[in-house]
């Protein structure tokens, strides 16, 4: 697999086919790339590290590096074999280092902190291959060759251990994410299907011609209680026609062909891009999660069967006894989930209802075991997307400065209200006094006129 310079960061970072981390319930169809670079490096460096003159086998398929590897003997006896292995390591490192450099500034890079080790290993491969040319030409290798070979083996071994551990952690996280991507697609999930889920239209009466067509859920209308489904375009198949003699055609034949083409275009235009349907009119396509779980099972089994590096101070048998059973249990849980989803995909809606509980149980067991192996606390998955619009959450002010400012503003407003009341009362009292004076003056003037 060669690196492709035109790939975007998102395309390089794809962790697992079908699983888009962080998008609950959304399944993609992208080809995995970052894991492929790591897997290829692990496969290419393995023959060099498990060479009997470099390491010794241990319990559980593991290996332990020799304190004094016989690298000079290996160069003299199998120089072409060593050269072939180093070239393959160089190629895989070149591809992986290119991906590392592309994701250097990305926060989700699976190789964060390994860029320097990868560069040292690649540089060591290039340097050893150049030195081996002289040794192979003369037919004898010197201490310089042995020293460079020892440095390269050490760098490759360190990088192998780091990539091996990180690859296992990625697969454990993918097992946790698999539950979120599958359980909401099963019947009786307690909510609606997540946006982006692939479905098949069924039981449509007004548009029976659309039954069986595939699409993806774009949104959910809370008021109408309906899905908005984006219908997928069907690829046109080119019809192979037998060669015909133009002289045999008449004017009427050409016109009939044109009428047929017009009718086909009208039928194609009648298929809408989007359609609002009830929940009973969509059938979840379980084929996509089936493929994703099958791929996860395959990658997990490949990873756990790879040789693990065990130091000379460790008890290889104890390590194998401690890790063997849980790794095998994880494979069984994932396999059970994959088989259940495959059964549901093959039997339709009735089959999905039968396998729903078994699938949930298997994925729950895988999630709990994965969290335990990662040293994390297992967390229950969140509830499915709701059918009814949730009420807006009230966020109380917790800041003391904000509450104090609101309190002072309320006090100022209350004081201003009281001042306005006092002013109004004073105005009223003044107007009353004026009225009394006017009334008293008018009454006194009337009495004087009467006496006259």
249/389: higher pLDDT: 389
Does 379 fall in a domain? no
Say if residue 18 is in the same domain as residue 159. yes
Length of the chain: 452
Of 196, 170, 176, 174, the closest CA to residue 185 belongs to: 196
pLDDT score of 34: 66
d(CA 226, CA 101): 46
Is the same domain home to 305 and 357?
yes
- Determine the pLDDT at residue 64: 94
Tell me: do 141 and 96 sit in the same domain: yes
Residues 348 and 218 in one domain: no
3-state secondary structure of 16: strand
Residue 169 φ then ψ, to 5°: -65, -40
The answer as to whether 104 is a domain residue is yes
380 assigned to some structural domain:
no
Which tops the pLDDT comparison, 362 or 258?
Answer: 362
Q: What is the C-alpha separation between 289 and 310, in angstroms, rounded?
A: 36
**Would you say 152 and 125 are in contact if contact means Cβ atoms under 8 Å apart?**
yes
Residue 361 lies in a domain: yes
* Within a domain: 393: no
Q: Are 187 and 356 in contact, with CB atoms under 8 Å apart?
A: yes
191-245 pLDDT, tens per residue? Answer: 899 999 999 999 999 888 899 999 999 999 999 999 999 999 876 555 555 555 5
pLDDT digits (tens, 9 = 90+) for 356-412: 999 999 999 999 999 999 999 999 999 999 988 776 665 555 566 777 777 788 888
Q: Do 179 and 111 reside in the same domain of the chain?
A: yes
Does residue 418 register a pLDDT over 90? no
Please state which of the ranges 93-97, 246-250, 277-281, 388-392 shows the lowest mean pLDDT. Answer: 246-250
First to last CA, the chain: 129
Confidence check: pLDDT of 163 > 90: yes
Q: 129 and 204: one domain? A: no
Segment 144-158 mean pLDDT: 95
- 269 lies in which domain range? 198-239+246-284
Q: Is 331 part of any domain?
A: yes
pLDDT digits over 287-342, tens only?
Answer: 999 999 999 999 999 999 999 999 988 888 998 899 999 999 999 999 999 999 99
How do beta strands 282-284 and 274-277 pair? unpaired
159 found inside a domain: yes
CA 380 – CA 388 distance, rounded (Å): 22
User: What residues contact 408, with CB distance under 8 A and at least 6 apart?
Assistant: none
The whole-number pLDDT of residue 113 equals 86
Sequential DSSP letters for 217-282: EEEEETTTTEEEEEEPPPPPPPPP-----GGG--HHHHHHHHHHHHHHHHHHHHS-SEEEE-GGGE
Lowest mean pLDDT, pick from 266-270, 282-286, 426-430: 266-270
Pair 130, 61 in one domain:
yes
In terms of domains, do 37 and 146 share one?
yes
pLDDT above 80 for 3: no
Mean pLDDT is highest, among 12-21, 135-144, 327-336, 437-446, for 327-336
Give the tens place of pLDDT for each residue, 99-142: 888 887 777 777 788 889 999 999 999 999 999 998 888 888 99
**Mean pLDDT score of the chain, rounded to an integer?**
82
What is the pLDDT, as a whole number, of residue 164? 95
Contact 74, 54 (CB under 8 A): yes
Give residue 415's pLDDT band: very low, low, confident or very high (50, 70, 90): confident
* 144 and 101 inside one domain: yes
Same domain, 279 and 309: no
Q: In this structure, are 178 and 310 located in the same domain?
A: yes
pLDDT of residue 180: 92
pLDDT value at residue 2 = 45
Give the Å distances, CA to CA, from 247 to 244, 253, 254, 369: 9, 12, 12, 74
Closest CA to 106 of 7, 178, 186: 7
Record the pTM. 0.74
CA–CA separation, 200 vs 37, rounded Å?
A: 35
For residue 387, tell me if it sits in a domain. no
* Domain end call among 225, 260, 284: 284
d(C-alpha 40, C-alpha 296), whole Å: 17
- Residue 230 forms beta bridges with which residues? 216, 274
**67 and 159 housed in the same domain:** yes
- pLDDT reported for residue 31: 38
Compute the half-sphere exposure of residue 99: CA atoms within 13 Å on the CB side of its CA. Answer: 30
Q: Tell whether the model's pLDDT for residue 452 goes beyond 70.
A: no
Dihedral angle sign, alpha carbons of residues 31, 335, 46, 13: positive
Token pair for residue 52?
A: 């009997």
Q: What pLDDT does 409 receive?
A: 82
Confidence tier at 19 by pLDDT (50, 70, 90): very low
Closest CA to 289 of 344, 331, 330, 234: 344
Residue 1 CB partners (closer than 8 Å, separation 6+): 36, 37, 40, 95
Provide the percentage of residues in the chain whose pLDDT is more than 90. Answer: 52
CB 137 within 8 A of CB 83: no
How many domains does one find in the chain?
3
Confidence label for 22 from pLDDT (cuts 50, 70 and 90) = very low
């Amino acid at each position: 697999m060669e690196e492709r310079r035109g790939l975007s960061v998102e395309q390089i970072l794809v962790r697992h086919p079908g699983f888009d981390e962080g998008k609950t319930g959304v399944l993609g169809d992208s080809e995995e790339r970052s894991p492929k670079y790591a897997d290829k490096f692990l496969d290419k460096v393995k023959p060099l590290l498990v060479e009997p003159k470099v390491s010794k086998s241990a319990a559980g398929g593991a290996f332990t590096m020799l304190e004094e590897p016989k690298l000079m003997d290996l160069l003299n006896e199998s120089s072409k074999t060593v050269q072939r292995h180093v070239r393959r390591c160089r190629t895989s490192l070149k591809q992986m280092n290119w991906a590392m450099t592309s994701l250097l500034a990305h926060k989700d890079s699976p190789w964060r902190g390994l860029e320097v080790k990868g560069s040292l290993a690649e540089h060591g491969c290039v340097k050893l291959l150049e030195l081996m040319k002289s040794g192979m030409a003369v037919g004898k290798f010197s201490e310089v060759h042995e020293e460079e070979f020892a440095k390269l083996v050490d760098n490759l071994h360190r990088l192998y251990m780091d990539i091996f551990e990180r690859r296992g952690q990625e697969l454990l996280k993918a097992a946790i994410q698999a539950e979120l991507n599958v359980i909401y697609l099963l019947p009786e999930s307690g909510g609606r299907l997540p946006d982006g889920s692939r479905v098949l239209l069924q039981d449509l009466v007004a548009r029976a011609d659309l039954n069986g067509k595939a699409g993806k859920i774009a949104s959910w209308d809370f008021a109408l209680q309906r899905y908005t489904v984006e219908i997928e375009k069907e690829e046109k198949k080119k019809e192979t026609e037998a060669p015909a003699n133009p002289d045999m055609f008449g004017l009427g034949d050409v016109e009939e062909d044109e009428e047929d083409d017009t009718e086909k275009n009208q039928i194609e235009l009648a298929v809408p891009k989007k359609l609002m349907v009830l929940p009973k009119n969509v059938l979840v396509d379980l084929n996509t999660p089936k493929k994703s779980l099958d791929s996860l099972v395959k990658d997990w089994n490949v990873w756990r069967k790879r040789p693990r590096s065990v130091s000379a101070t460790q008890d290889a048998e104890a390590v194998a006894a401690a890790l063997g059973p849980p790794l095998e249990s994880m494979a069984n849980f994932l396999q059970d989930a994959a088989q259940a989803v495959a059964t549901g995909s093959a039997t339709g809606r009735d089959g999905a209802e039968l396998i729903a509980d078994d699938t949930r149980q298997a994925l729950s067991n895988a999630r709990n075991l994965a969290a335990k192996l990662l040293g994390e606390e297992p967390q229950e998955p969140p509830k499915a997307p709701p059918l009814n619009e949730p009420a807006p959450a009230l966020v109380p002010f917790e800041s003391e400065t904000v509450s104090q400012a609101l309190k002072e503003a309320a006090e100022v407003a209350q004081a201003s209200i009281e001042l306005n009341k006092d002013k109004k009362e004073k105005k009223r009292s003044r107007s009353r006094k004026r009225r009394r004076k006017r009334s008293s003056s008018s009454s006194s003037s009337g009495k004087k006129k009467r006496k006259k």
